[in-house]
């Protein structure tokens, strides 16, 4: 990896450190004394205690009891492989736990979110206001006929109405399916259709790098293909011109204007569906990951509390978009369940100034920052001088998520953003796990840069080889999880076979995460990235197959093979080999067109970094594309074993092409 430093003296390790040589990383960072003395978890014995079945049950029972139940649960959990159920028989409402509970406890005036718009306007929303607006929208949705058990699609920018929409769904027992605002109309339509959503909540637009994104137009396009949606609720954010479909479209502000500020919460079974969130797998079709009510809420609340060491006076800023699971679990549900004050920022962290993010952190006296390695590397490129004028002394804890963090980025984060006083929690988890699974506990864990350290209390992880045999400490293999956890996925919507096949068939009885992992001789976990055909671009999973499908849907393309190539900022970048149909000639213009075509089909986040036109692809004698070779070529590495290659000249032909990045 060639990440550049900030132009100041950098701590070790030397330039060129990569994920592969993490085991050479030898620096350790014990919890700073001032931090440890007031942390929520100070006794390392918790890890040992929660590792026994009895301790595990005691831990989660105590966390379950922190929630407000309409009817108490009986049994803690059942485990009928591959389906777990948690807090059996309990009834609760997530919005009550996130809102009413705090207002009833006298915290109605506490700020739930400081919202900062990209163009500069701000709003402080208290828990009382958030509750009232949630109730108004809940009533409005009910007035449109949305009922318990329905699915509602949400396609919105980072505005306060987004968590309101999620909470309003939760209040009436409708499952939401949030689709990241950067996805295309096609991607939105596919997700709406898969879940047969009955309503859509969207906005006219949102701001990103100074431009108004045209969300409503995308949504309209999607709805032309998704007849299940009867109503579309539109927040007026930018005021831009929009098309209007009478009867179907409703302005959010008009719809909620006359609604009462109270709404009876639907009593939900602990195992009722709270939401769907689509994520990429190894096929072109995204998977609708199912998360339910009681276990999910207990899981995200507990992990948020202990990993971010949440105290009442904290100002917590998770910089992710709510459209990803990080935002669901650690902007909305975990923090609100804990009554935390958070920050929501609408736009790009470096717009209009490179230090916009630091200005915001300083302005609200943020104490906790949670972001992704790709953002940290982007800030490293600007250098620490870019935010020297911003006072970040309020920070006391930093977090990282989304991909392996390279030790040099970790060390830079620690030194320049955290001022060498803030623990860095590198948190490993997935859309499917719902909650953080492998992570430091900042008051007790001695950190090693680049390691997510140890499983959260009660999480039983292991590293196994191909045959499923545990790999002793010091070795590497595949990460598996061996015991259910409360926030785990409950399946793939409408596709139980794929659920079984994807996660539970490779190692029967164990959850296969799809990530490589090494443990050092002290048992620290070092995550090594995906082992399947899934790329991780800026901390987001994109399937190689999905991009290939998008490419071959273009009339000029005969065949395509897509791989992820190491990228200094985004972690991986999308690299495409394309064979053209006869009659088409390679050109820069066509390359640009194909990149736009993919961005149009999936979303800008999937726009390829590079297209390489090739006359052929390396295949085995049985016709399978040898992706390993394509990855080697993309990485400009020497090639591994080529003995199974049907036609060796193909590789030379491809390597002979010069490839330049197209940005
Ligand atoms: C995949 C899950 C979890 C929220 C954001 C991404 C990678 C995530 C880490 C980390 C190394 C990580 C894994 C995982 N990943 N966090 N701290 N260290 N890798 O959610 O889109 O479901 O992606 O992201 O490869 O499987 P997601």
Whether ligand 1 lies within 6 angstroms of the CB of 326 is answered as yes
Element (H, E) at 214: none
C-alpha atoms less than 13 angstroms from C-alpha of 539 in its C-beta half-sphere: 26
288, 539, 564, best to mutate for ligand 1 pocket (most atoms within 8 Å of CB): 539
Phi-psi region of 459 (alpha: psi -120 to 50; beta: other; left: phi over 0): beta
Whether ligand 1 lies within 6 angstroms of the CB of 452 is answered as yes
Whether ligand 1 lies within 6 angstroms of the CB of 19 is answered as no
Residue-range domains of the chain with CATH: 125-266 (3.40.50.980), 531-661 (3.30.300.30)
Task: Report the side by side order of strands in the sheet with 111-116.
Answer: 122-126, 111-116, 341-345, 315-318, 368-371, 397-400, 424-426
Nearest CA to ligand 1 atom 11: 404
Interatomic CA distance for residues 637 and 633, integer angstroms = 6
Nearest CA to ligand 1 atom 12: 403
Whether ligand 1 lies within 6 angstroms of the CB of 409 is answered as no
Give residue 58 CA to ligand 1 midpoint distance, Å.
28
Please name the residues in contact with 647: beta carbons below 8 A apart, sequence gap of 6 or more. Answer: 616, 618, 619
- What's the confidence (pLDDT) of residue 179? 98
Interatomic CA distance for residues 629 and 433, integer angstroms = 32
Looking at 29-148, list the stretches that DSSP marks H as alpha helix, in order from N- to C-terminal side.
33-37, 45-49, 53-66, 94-95, 101-102, 127-143
pTM: 0.92
Number of helices (H), then strands (E), belonging to the chain: the values are 21, 29
pLDDT means per 10 residues, the chain with 663 residues, are 32 37 71 95 97 98 98 98 98 99 98 97 98 98 98 98 99 98 96 98 96 96 97 98 97 98 98 97 92 98 98 98 98 99 97 98 98 95 97 98 94 97 98 98 97 98 97 96 97 98 96 96 95 91 92 93 94 95 95 97 94 89 83 84 75 66 46
Nearest CA to ligand 1 atom 6: 402
Are residues 541 and 280 in contact, defined by beta-carbon separation less than 8 angstroms?
A: yes
Token pair, residue 512, equals 């296969």
Nearest-atom number in ligand 1 for the CA of 280 is 21
Are residues 528 and 404 in contact, defined by beta-carbon separation less than 8 angstroms?
A: yes
Residue from 482, 616, 602 nearest 79 by CA: 482
Nearest-atom number in ligand 1 for the CA of 432 is 22
288, 403, 409, best to mutate for ligand 1 pocket (most atoms within 8 Å of CB): 403
Whether ligand 1 lies within 6 angstroms of the CB of 541 is answered as yes
């Amino acid at each position: 990896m060639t990440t550049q430093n900030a132009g100041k003296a950098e701590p070790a390790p030397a330039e060129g450190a990569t994920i592969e040589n993490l085991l050479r990383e030898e620096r350790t960072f014990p919890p700073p004394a001032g931090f440890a003395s007031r942390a929520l978890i100070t006794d390392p014995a918790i890890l040992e205690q929660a590792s026994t079945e009895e301790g595990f049950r005691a831990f989660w029972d105590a966390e379950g009891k922190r929630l407000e139940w309409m009817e108490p649960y009986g049994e803690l959990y059942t485990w009928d492989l591959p389906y777990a159920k948690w807090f059996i028989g309990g009834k609760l409402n997530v919005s009550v736990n996130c809102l009413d509970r705090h207002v009833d406890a006298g915290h109605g005036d506490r700020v739930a979110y400081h919202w900062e718009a990209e163009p500069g306007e701000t709003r402080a929303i208290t828990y009382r206001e958030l509750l009232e607006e949630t109730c108004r929208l809940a009533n409005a949705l009910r007035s449109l006929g949305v009922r318990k058990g329905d699915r509602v699609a949400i396609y919105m920018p980072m505005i306060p109405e987004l968590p309101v929409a999620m909470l309003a769904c939760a209040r009436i027992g409708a499952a939401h399916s949030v689709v990241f605002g950067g996805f295309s109309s096609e991607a939105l339509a596919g997700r709406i259709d898969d879940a047969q959503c009955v309503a859509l909540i969207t906005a006219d637009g949102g701001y990103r790098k100074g431009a108004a994104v045209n969300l409503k137009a995308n949504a309209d396009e999607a709805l032309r293909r998704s007849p299940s949606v009867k109503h579309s609720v539109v927040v007026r954010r930018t005021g831009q011109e929009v098309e209007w479909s009478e009867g179907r479209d409703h302005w959010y502000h008009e719809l909620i204007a006359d609604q009462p500020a109270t709404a009876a919460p639907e009593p939900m079974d602990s195992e009722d569906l709270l939401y769907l969130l689509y994520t990429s797998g190894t096929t072109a079709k995204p998977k609708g990951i199912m998360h339910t009510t009681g276990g999910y809420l207990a899981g995200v609340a507990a992990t948020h509390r202990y990993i971010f060491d949440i105290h009442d006076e904290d100002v917590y800023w998770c910089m992710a978009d709510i459209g990803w699971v990080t935002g669901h679990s650690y902007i909305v549900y975990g923090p609100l369940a804990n009554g935390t004050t958070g920050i929501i920022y609408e736009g790009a962290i470096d717009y209009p100034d490179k230090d916009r993010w630091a200005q915001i952190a300083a302005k609200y006296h943020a104490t906790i920052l949670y972001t992704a390695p790709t953002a940290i590397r982007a800030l490293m490129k600007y250098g620490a001088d870019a935010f020297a004028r911003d006072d970040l002394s309020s920070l006391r804890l930093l977090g990282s998520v989304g991909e392996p963090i390279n030790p040099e980025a970790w060390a830079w984060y620690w030194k320049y953003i955290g001022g060498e006083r803030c623990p860095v929690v590198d948190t490993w988890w997935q859309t499917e796990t719902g909650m953080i699974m492998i992570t430091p506990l900042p008051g007790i864990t001695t950190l090693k840069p680049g390691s997510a350290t140890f499983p959260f209390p009660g999480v039983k992880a292991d590293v196994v080889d191909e045959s499923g045999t545990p790999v002793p400490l010091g070795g590497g293999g595949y990460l598996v999880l061996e015991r259910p956890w409360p926030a785990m996925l409950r399946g793939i919507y409408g596709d139980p076979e794929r659920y079984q096949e994807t996660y539970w068939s490779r190692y029967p009885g164990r959850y296969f995460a799809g990530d490589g992992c090494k443990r050092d001789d002290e048992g620290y976990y070092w995550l090594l990235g995906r082992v399947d055909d899934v790329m991780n671009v800026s901390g987001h999973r994109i399937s190689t197959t999905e991009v290939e499908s998008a490419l071959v849907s273009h009339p000029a393309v005969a065949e395509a093979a897509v791989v992820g190539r190491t990228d200094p900022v985004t972690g991986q970048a999308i690299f495409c080999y394309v064979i053209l149909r006869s009659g088409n000639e390679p050109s820069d213009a066509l390359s640009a067109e194909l990149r736009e075509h993919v961005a149009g089909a999936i979303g800008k986040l999937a726009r390829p970094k590079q297209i390489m036109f090739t006359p052929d692809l390396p295949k085995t004698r049985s016709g399978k594309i040898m992706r390993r070779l394509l990855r080697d070529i993309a990485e400009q590495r020497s090639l591994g074993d080529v003995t199974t290659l049907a036609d060796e000249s193909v590789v030379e032909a491809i390597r002979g092409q010069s490839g330049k990045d197209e940005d």
